[in-house]
Structure 1
């Protein structure tokens, strides 16, 4: 599966150029499972390890798998206190026929429903983990997005109503039934929007619970 979705014959020479290391001429990709959106692969070679990101194969929702957006944010945060990987190579689709990027691998644990055996076994260590997460989120919110070049990245005004409208459109494009809890959730979220938001754009948000 990995070889079919990662064209190493084309990717390898591009990595050699990007890294200046001939040992990346024939990288070996392996899919990192557990992702819920874009596909992530570990690339290995005698030179070490890198990480490759691409959209899923087949039909995808418009703008839902924007590789360029991920690259812009990570590059913008590279010189801030926020821990982000270094982008090694990025392409909008000319090289492999789809957008992708390659970054250095940052070793660590992906924690979902349980901690790895022997990791953060004491209360103090678990508290330290939680505080590290909070500290990183606080540092992220303290970044001046204009100063790092992200002033054109998004539109802060009207964010909530746009998100709800986008989720509604995505649901309409992928709905599996007309009687689904998502319909009620969408209606309740629309009702919970701040009043000034509802006055301005509630007509743009479909909250009907019928097909």
Structure 2
């Protein structure tokens, strides 16, 4: 099968498989705070690390949702690791609440204060990255038209890791059981890792 995205045969593929193919993807469980003090917490499917030195994360928002709006206002956000133990509460934070109503309260999650930024982190999450916004882009298509997608880049300025998951000088990510987003309504959990060394330089 081969097709151009705009000409997919919907009788064969009624649901767009794009996100099922680019999988699994880390979840951007992002907390933000508006200038007026409103707190938001939401999971994002299009999220990833894009640079190491300095460490930079990227979040893509379909329109000016609360996370994008608040991050634009205050130039700060926090990424919280979504784990299997928190999957039901994370899903609740995807609810379409009125602007300004806290997803922390709706999902029964306790916020914990951040060190270097105003938005709180999820207290039960085993890891969180405090970020300062360094760039915001409106994504264009190949014809130069605006897509409505907002890209937010944040430089990590603070790192929280639950000490229980630091073993022999390394983070035991498998023990954290981080969630990943797949296609449709599917998720995956990373609870098994294997090591593979790079080939030697020739």
Q: Which has the higher helix share?
A: 1
TM-score of the pair, normalised by structure 1? 0.27
How does the TM-score come out when normalised to structure 2? 0.28
More strand by share: 2
Q: Which has the higher Rg, Structure 1 or Structure 2?
A: 1
